[in-house]
Every structure is written in structure tokens, then in C-alpha cells.
Chains A and B, each alone.
Chain A
Amino acid sequence: MRAAVLDSPPSIAIKDVGQTFQDDNGFNVVALKDLNFDVARHEFVAVLGPSGCGKSTVLRQIAGLLAPSHGDVSVFGKTVTEPRDDIGIVFQRPTLLPWFDVLGNVTFVARHKYGRVTADEIERGRDLLKLVDLQEFEKAQIDQLSGGMQQRVAIARSLLLDPDILLMDEPFSALDALSRDEMSFELLRIWSESPKTVLFITHSIPEAVLLADRIIVMTPRPGSVREILTVDIPRPRSMQTLSDPRFSALTNHIRSQLFTRHAG
């Protein structure tokens, strides 16, 4: 079944992508170099790497928020030149709007994109709150929610316009360790109920192994692909997955990769 998924045309294709920034002193900083990978339809891919390796840069290129200096980023076979309608984004911080209640935050993307919110979108917002298990908090104010709950609202917000692709930029890294594990299982449940192509940026090895079908391990700056790993742990994954020998074997392998300067 995995193979069948991989055979379908890629949702995201990154080809020879490089990114060069100018720092404050006018020096060129190479953030990404010769980056190549594909993400298949409905595949869950984690991009894993040390801080500053350009993980978030790739996400912004795919989202159409940043044009790559070199190479080609395409989504569904089309080169990305501007933000697309079929992509949802979840950021590291929930960044909800404190002047709206929970439901208002979920439907905000419709209000912001089209200038109004239809009854259908409100209905969909309610369904999504059910999906992220916050249906009782529809009318709650943002500052009444915990960090994990806020991030679940942000996930619901990213799903409102029913994107095919979900880009997640270290979405759980601001949470405490317990909420983090809980949110990982939540995300797996949401993903199984509403399949999407997911690109999940993280610097947590266990998180990547627990969540992903494949892991793109990146090198330090300038970021490029060090290794692409297939996670052959069957789904659905649960608490038990964490004690699976394949889980520890894979996390150990990646850890040794990341701590060896010249590996690969």
C-alpha cells in the first residue's frame, strides 16, 4: 500500500533548490544548497535537522512566501510562484487573534480571504473543532486556552479551507513535553480522519519517527539532504510504538547521523 502511494505523482517536488540570503552586513549566507526531495500524495513527511539548517525556509518556499534563489519548487506539477489555495500552514506559535473567540479564529481564514464567512464555513468550523476535540470551547476566549489547545485551534484554522497540503513548522516545539506527546497522537488521529499531504518540520527525532512515513534528515547550514529514511513502523501508531524496537533503532540511527559531522 505504501508503494502505491509513492507511485502516484508527487504533491510537492523540490528540485536542486538553493536559497541565499543577505545578512545585515551585506554578506551572502547560503541557507539551502542542492536540496532535492519529493512528497507523495497523502504522505506524511518529516523534515528533521539542526536549528538554522533552513528547514523553515523550505516550508516558506513551498507555501509561496519565499522565492527560491535556485532550482524549482513545484506543487502538483506546477512551479510555485505565489501562495496557493490548496495549502494550509500551522506555525510554531499558534498566533491566534485575541479579539475573536475560538470559532471566530477557525473561520478567520475565510473572513480574511473572502471578506465574509458563510454559514457553511461556520458549520465546517464547528466540525473541525469537533475533529480537534474542542467542540465545547467554541465560544471560549483565546487566553482561556492552554498552549496545546491553542495549537489545536490553529490546526483547525489551517484545515478550514480544506487544503490538500498541510505545512507544519515545528508546531509542537513551544509546548511542554507532555502536551507535545499528546498533540502528536492527536495529529495522527486527525490525519487518519482527514488525510492530507503533510510536511512536518521538526528538530525532535522521536517526534519525526512517531509521525512520519518518511524522514528527510538535513545537514547543518547550508542545508541539504543528508539522508531520506522510510519509517517502516505500521500504522495506526500509539503509545506502544514508542517501545517498538524499530522505533528505538531508527531514533538511534538518526541521532548518530546528526552527531557525526561527515557522515554520508
Chain B
Amino acid sequence: MRDKAPTGAPAPQNALQRLGYRYAPLLTFLGVLAVWEIGCRVFDVPTFLLPPPSLIYAAFHEQTVQIWLGHAWATIRVALIGYVVAIAVSIPLAIALASSKLLSRSLYPLIIIVHSMPIVAIAPIIVVTLGASDLPRVVITFLITFFPIVVTTTAGLLATPPELVELSRSLRADWTRQMFHIRLPYALPHIFSALKISTTLSVVGAVVAEFVAAEKGLGYMIQFTTSFFKIGQSFVALVMLVMISLAFFQLIGLVQRLLVPWSLPRSER
């Protein structure tokens, strides 16, 4: 007689349920693609308005792989440089903000103002000011990327347990040691959250910059192809941007797992 599932071991699910659970995200994705494809065909949507997935795939072959990769690389390069510059500026800035009330009081409003400027609004101005080169594109990417890093790193630095600061003081350790032995490592989980958020923002920044002035890049490609109603190619560029963002995000996650595994819950190491 059996009136209860045995406790201790989890009740065995049947194989179909397990497979279903495992592939649910993939199946959902394929389902959306199928609805899209069928919908486009059944309702006879003009392809210059919304091409079905099959046409987007075909549009990829309207250009050579080299051309696509060339555009992708242009975008990746700007995003990466802007991202690295943002880190190089933001973390020292956060250290300054966390270390001095006066600096924090003086600089914080300025940082908020800079961040409050809509990036799309300021982008053309920056291009006019800095000329048509990679420089304005990097600056635009930097402007959208740096804010979360500064704010989150500052918060992380200030979240150091007061006992550790007291321990440091009781050992009469100097400022540098307190910063590099205690505060900065303690802020690393915060810093990595910000770095992950900023990966996708850096791609946004690069694309916005390309919309304003560029002759290469996936953002440029979208603008160029839409003006000729080659929506299929626009979608190809969009898909590539998504893949770049995802890969970038995953890369930073991987760096975190390799370099600072302790900052992650045990299950994610």
C-alpha cells in the first residue's frame, strides 16, 4: 500500500517532464519564431514592414560574411574601448567619492547632471565638438556606461562592515592598505554587478554614436538599410547586436567566476 510519495529522496519525475523542463527556454524561443513566421505568411505582412525569420536568415546572405564581421567589429571596438575607459575612470572616481565627504558633495551633483542628459540628445553635440572619428563614439559610450559603475562601486566601498574598518584602524594600517586590503575587495561583488549592467549599456552607447555619425558599424548598418527598406538586413544587424551584448555579459560573468568566485553564491561558482 502506498499513500505518500517516499520522503528523503525527491519524487522521480517522468523523463518527459524532465526533458520539458530542461528545454523549456529553447522551446519557447522556437515557438515565438514559429508564430512570427506563420503570422507573417498567414496575414501576408509586407516584408519591408516585418520580414519573417526565414527572410532575415536569407538577408544575411545579401552581404558577405566579411562585411558583416567588419561592421560587427567596428561596433565591438567602440563598445569595448568606451567600456574600458569607463572602468578606468569610474573606479578611481568611486574611490575618491567614498573617501572624501567634500569630494562626494562637490562631484556628485555634477555626475548626476551628466547622467541626466539624454544620451541621444547629447550625442550629436559631442560629434560636432569632437569631430568625426572614433573619439566621439568612445566618449558617448563612456557617458552611458560610467554612471552605474561609479554609483555601485561607491556604494560597495561604503558598505564595508564598520568592524573591519575599526580592525584596520586598530592595526594602524594606512589609507592605501585599508582601501586595497579591505574596502576594494569588499566592493568587488558590487563592482561586478555594475560591470555586467554596463556591458549591454556599452553596446547601446556604440549604436547611438553610430546613428549620429559613422560609416561603419551595426548601428550604422541599421540606419543605412532601413532607409532603403532592406528591413531583413536591419534585423540581421539587430540579431548580431543582441549576440554581442549577450556574449559580452557572459564574458564578464566568466571573469567574475574565475577571478573572484567567492563573490558568487556557491551554486553559481
Contacts and interface: CB of A to CB of B under 8 A. Distances in A.
A198 B161 CA distance: 24
Given A95-B161, A115-B177, A89 B170 contact: yes
A143 B266 contact: yes
Contacts of B171: 83, 109, 112-113
Interface in B174-202: 177, 181-182, 185-186, 188
- Majority DSSP secondary structure for residues of B touching A: helix
A211 B169 CA distance: 28
Given A91-B163, A93-B163, A143-B266, A64 B170 contact: yes
Interface in A59-112: 60, 63-65, 82-83, 87, 89, 91-93, 95, 97-99, 108-109, 111-112
For B161, B170, B181, B262, the residue with the greatest tally of chain A CB atoms inside 10 Å of its CB is B170
B172 A93 contact: no
Contact of A91 (B166, B168, B182): B166
B45 interface: no
A163 to B, nearest CB: 10
Interface string A139-154: 0011100000000000
Nearest to B166: A65
B262 A99 contact: yes
Interface in B143-167: 161, 163-164, 166-167
B38 interface: no
A112 B181 contact: yes
A82 B173 CA distance: 12
Nearest to A94: B163
B58 interface: no
Contact of B167 (A64, A89, A115, A142): A89
Contact of B185 (A63, A95, A99, A142): A99
B262 A95 contact: no
For B166, B181, B263, B266, the residue with the greatest tally of chain A CB atoms inside 10 Å of its CB is B166
A21 B164 CA distance: 22
Chain A: number of interface residues, binned into ranges: 20 to 34
Contacts of A97: 164, 182, 185-186
Contacts of A65: 166, 169-170
Nearest to B260: A99
Nearest to A141: B262
Interface in A106-140: 108-109, 111-113, 115
A93 B169 CA distance: 17
A82 B188 CA distance: 31
Interface in B104-127: none
A174 B263 CA distance: 23
Nearest to B172: A83
B249 to A, nearest CB: 23
Contacts of A108: 181
B101 to A, nearest CB: 15
Contact of B170 (A83, A98, A99): A83
A112 B163 contact: no
B177 A60 contact: no
Contacts of A95: 161, 163-164, 167
Given A97-B185, A112-B177, A112-B181, A82 B161 contact: no
A112 B173 contact: yes
Given A112-B171, A113-B172, 10 more contacts: A60-B166, A91-B163, A92-B163, A93-B161, A97-B185, A97-B186, A98-B263, A112-B177, A112-B181, A143-B262
Interface of B: 161, 163-164, 166-173, 177, 181-182, 185-186, 188, 260, 262-263, 266
Q: Please provide the 9 A-B residue pairs with the shortest distance between their CB atoms, ordered closest to farther.
A: A91-B163, A113-B171, A95-B163, A83-B170, A98-B262, A95-B161, A112-B173, A99-B262, A112-B181
25 contacts: A63-B166, A63-B170, A64-B170, A65-B166, A65-B170, A83-B170, A83-B171, A83-B172, A89-B166, A89-B170, A93-B161, A93-B163, A95-B161, A95-B167, A99-B185, A99-B260, A109-B171, A111-B181, A112-B167, A112-B168, A112-B177, A113-B173, A115-B177, A141-B262, A143-B262
